[in-house]
Every structure is written in C-alpha cells, then in structure tokens.
Amino acid sequence: MDDMISSDSHIIEPPDLWTERVDARFRDRAPRIVREDDGDFWYIDGQRSMSFLGVQTGDRFEKDATELVTVARFEDVRPASYDPARYVEENRKDGIVGSVVYPSEALLAYSIPDPALCSATMRAYNDFIAEFCTHDPARLKGIALVNVDDPAEAVAEMQRARRLGLEGIMITVLPPADRAYDHPMYEPVWAAAVDLDLPISMHVATGRSALSASEKQTSLRTGVTEAAFYLQDHFVRKSIGEMIFSGVFMRHPKLRVGSIEHEVSWVPFFLFQADYCYTDRPVRGDWLRFPDGTLPSDYFRQNCFLSFQEDRVGIRVRDVCGIETLMWGSDYPHTESTFPRSREITGEILADVPQAEQQLILRDNVAKLYGFDLDAIRS
C-alpha cells in the first residue's frame, strides 16, 4: 500500500531545542547535550539521560543485534529526523504519506520530578514541534506533551497547543499512585480534550511515577527489559482500566484515549478479564454500574485506540480489539522502525486481512482521528 499513514512516528530533537526555547529561569536545568568521550548525551537537571536515537534507521535489517548501538553523536543522526522537508520526502518513499509525530528524548520529560521543570520542558517542545509541522500541516500532525500534575495548568497548555495547530496531546502512561486516572481531579482534563477535539495518547516510556531521569540511566538494563517484555503493556492496562471502571468514558462518551507502542496482543485477555470482573465478581470499591447493559469492553472499543508496529498475533485477534481501534505506526526513525521496509512488513503482517480492513488499519482510522485530508496528502 502506497498511501499509509503512520500513527506513531518520531522526531529527533536538535541539541539547541531547549537551550533556545525553554523559559529563561529553567535554562540551566532543562535538557541539554554534553559531549563525552564515547558519545553525546542528554542531561536533564544535571542528570545524564540517553544518547541520540535516529542514527541507525533500517540497520536492524542488515546487521546483527550485537552490532546495533545505543550511544552516538548528533552528527551521526539522520538529517531527515529533524528536517521536516526531508522527513516528509523520506517517509513518502517508504509509502507513508502522513505521520502523527511524537518526540524521542522528550518522552523522558515525564520522569522529571520537579513539576515546574517538567512543564517548562514540555512547553518548549510543544513550540518546536508545532513549528516543525507547519512545513506541511496536511502530512505532519504533531502531538503536544502535557503534564497533568496540575489539571488547570494542563488545560491551559491544551488550549495553547490547539492554538499552535497541534492535533493531539500525550499524558503520562503512569501517574503517581495517589493520583491515578480514576481520581476526580482529572475531570477538567477529560472535558477539555473533548471540547478541543484532542485525542489523548499514552506512549510507552512516559511513566510519571516511575524512575527519575537519572535512575532510568543507572537501571537501563532493567528498564529496557520492562519496556520490551513483561511490563510493556502493564502501565497502560492499569491506566485504561482505571478510566473505564471509574466511569470516565461513561461521563465523556466522545473522549478518545490511545495506547501507543504497546502493541495489541494484550488487549483480548484484558477485555475478557475486565468484563469478567464486572459481571462475575463482587463490586469493588467505587466501581460504577454502567447503563443499558454496557460492558467495560464496550467502552474500550468505543473510546480507545491502539497504535501498533509489528504485532502479527494481535492482528489475528483484531475482531476482539475492534477493527476501528487499530492503527499502524512505523516508529520512524528509531532503530526498531519498519523504515525502509514498511510496505513489505505491513504486507506480510496483513496478508490474510481483507483489503477493506487493511485500509482502515493502515490509513483510514488514523486519518479520521487526526483529521488528515486524504485527497490533499495523496497529491
């Protein structure tokens, strides 16, 4: 298919993003690059974070995993990953005519303990990505980062993001334990998302109650293991489950919340367990009883969306998830991206899927959610 839309693509932040854009009072603490002997590293509030991604896009198809790297210098970064004109052109060669754009280093902004620095870091990024997308707003749909520690502040940033032309927001996949997403404090955020027509994303690696940026670096092996295997979908299941059972979607039927880069295979069992707990177990805590026989799985299929990359098993159980929930993403330009073989990989994954369903998964679902004009981006 030559007119795919990626529901999960990324940019690589240039080294001067925060030094040039962040509020002056946070400039010494905001993310910045330090050149070390073995590579360039981002530092946040004096603590080392990660090195540059986007230096080996496509290499996984040519190299052994032992040859892939996690440390690099900015001059090795693929220019198309921060140059919007090259970004659009390179993705079009891969069959992708539109991209929903997420950050790379800025994903870790959610782990900044200081709420003021966290929010300032996100505001500066939002300014950058809005400017990036103005190069071709028909094909580039930017996602704003929002810190929901203070819901009133979050709503103000959501309103600003919409004025900047951004098409969705991202919130932490794991809020602090005493402020989970069943807390009534978030009602203004849910209401604003509906009023502003901003889909909400929860991306892997954005836990707010998880480790700080420095702790992430010192426990890298554990963090990668959790992201790749047994905890990859745990946090998003927890957050979506709390939203369902506390009635968030019942109160806000037009709210859309997405799981990004957690794949799909976990969903059928999650929905089975959610319905089973609702129908066959005693009512727990303040769980609501939904109207008209509605089940938790009904709210999931109505209000949630799923961005996946290469989940062959998840596609086999797509009817349980709901075809309208599924959206493919290339993860460009990260190491695990499908670039430059997106046509080939999606063709293999969806080989047994009817053509009409393929179009929904590869293009139409995400186009509808984020307002892509298909006629405009095909030209």
The tens digit of pLDDT for each residue in 54-110 reads 999 999 999 999 999 999 999 999 999 999 999 999 999 999 999 999 999 999 999
Indicate whether 220 pLDDT > 60.
Answer: no
- Cβ-proximal residues to 367 (8 Å cutoff; 6+ apart), any chain: 5, 98, 374
CB atoms within 10 A of CB 313: 10
User: What structural domains does the chain harbor?
Assistant: 4-29+84-378 (3.20.20.140)
Which helix (DSSP H) or strand (DSSP E) does residue 187 occupy? Answer: helix 187-195
Cα–Cα distances in Å, from 234 out to 174, 205, 266? 10, 12, 9
Residue located via tokens 């040519």:
62
pTM over 0.85: yes
pLDDT digits (tens, 9 = 90+) for 249-265: 999 999 999 999 999 99
pLDDT bin (cut points 50, 70, 90) of residue 231 is low
